[in-house]
Amino acid sequence: MTELLTEKAANQIVKGWQGHLNLSYAYRNDTTQIIHNEVQAPLKVQRPFYPEGKKVCHSVILHTAGGVVGGDSLSMNFQLEPDAKTLITTAAAGKIYRSSGLEARQTIEIKIAKDAYLEWLPQETIVFNGAIYRQDLRVELEPEASVLLWEITRFGRTARGERFVSGEWRSHVEVWQQGHPLWIDRQVVKGEEMLTSPHGLGGYPVLASLAWVGQPVTGEIVEKARLLWQNTPFFDEGKSGQIQLSAGVTRLTNGLLCRYRGSSTAAARRWLIGVWELLRLSGRDRAICLPRVWPN
């Protein structure tokens, strides 16, 4: 099987890929290390990188099949021991191909121990027209642990004029701490119905979210995150040529939530990077370090 599957060839695989990735991190000898690494194709992890020093481990996940198709079932488990600090991203944009009727699914389980934190920052996902996809992510935080999650999703290959008029995308996210829910998020996009609805995407093809959970934020941080959006030169423009505000910032019970809907993954990424840097400096007193696999 070649690394890069076409839609037609991929959907001929009835059973689909059953891949998994289990990673455990520990802070030992002043270094965050991977102490357990178990993989099954098509998932793979590159060797760890330390572009910001030994205390923060950067990991890059690869999907060697090139995309997800109906019938695929992928699972990832990340576990951080006390004081471990980890950033995990993906090597390239994810692709969810058109389905012949079977659902594709991805499940992520994360456990973060005391004084540890994880930044889960995958590159954007492109959901092809006709895709049927569900992703579930659950985080268990111990006291004084925290997590930063983001997701950038484009519905349809809009550069080719494709719209997401059929198919279904579901995202379920839960963050818990000692049996108490800190953030529960449910999102569903069903083709044209939610793509065009003013209560859904309002005609925009890009949806993005960032959640920082596990540490309280001040009203000042919320205001700064909003100003980051308002003061940047990459707003989306509507048909009238007027600037359209397509972002929002909310303070959670123990964290921060940012939302974007628009037409540009680059705009979403730049704003979320700005928020990430703001949170890093305020909560960790450490500047961000962009993963080397990200596009410039």
CA quadruple 238, 239, 240, 244: dihedral, nearest 10: -10
Is 94 inside a domain boundary? Answer: yes
Is 61 inside a domain boundary? Answer: yes
Q: How many domains does the chain have?
A: 1
- Classify 237 as helix, strand or coil: strand
Is 289 inside a domain boundary? Answer: no
14 burial level (CB within 10 Å; 0-12, 13-18, 19+): exposed
Alpha carbon distance 174, 140 (integer Å) = 9
Q: List 261's β-bridge partners, or say none.
A: 207
Is 1 inside a domain boundary? Answer: no
pLDDT in the model for residue 2: 40
Alpha helices in the chain (DSSP H): 7-10, 191-196, 219-230, 265-283
pLDDT in the model for residue 66: 86
Whole-structure pTM value: 0.90
Alpha carbon distance 106, 90 (integer Å) = 14
Is 83 inside a domain boundary? Answer: yes
Question: What's 284's DSSP letter?
Answer: T
Give yes or no for a contact between 184 and 174, defined as CB atoms under 8 angstroms apart.
yes
pLDDT in the model for residue 237: 45
Is 261 inside a domain boundary? Answer: yes
- Quick one: how far is CA 41 from the chain centroid? 21
Alpha carbon distance 162, 157 (integer Å) = 5
Is 293 inside a domain boundary? Answer: no
pLDDT in the model for residue 13: 46
Sheet bearing 168-177, strands edge to edge: 31-40, 18-28, 73-80, 104-112, 132-141, 168-177, 180-189
pLDDT in the model for residue 241: 45
Is 288 inside a domain boundary? Answer: no
pLDDT digit of tens for each residue in the chain (296 aa)? 443 445 544 444 456 889 999 999 999 999 999 999 999 999 999 999 999 999 999 999 999 998 999 999 999 999 999 999 999 999 999 999 999 889 999 999 999 999 999 999 999 999 999 999 999 999 999 999 999 999 999 999 988 888 899 999 999 999 999 999 999 999 999 987 777 787 778 889 999 999 999 999 999 999 999 999 877 655 444 444 444 558 899 999 899 999 999 988 998 999 999 999 999 998 887 899 999 999 87
Give residue 172's domain range.
Answer: 7-283
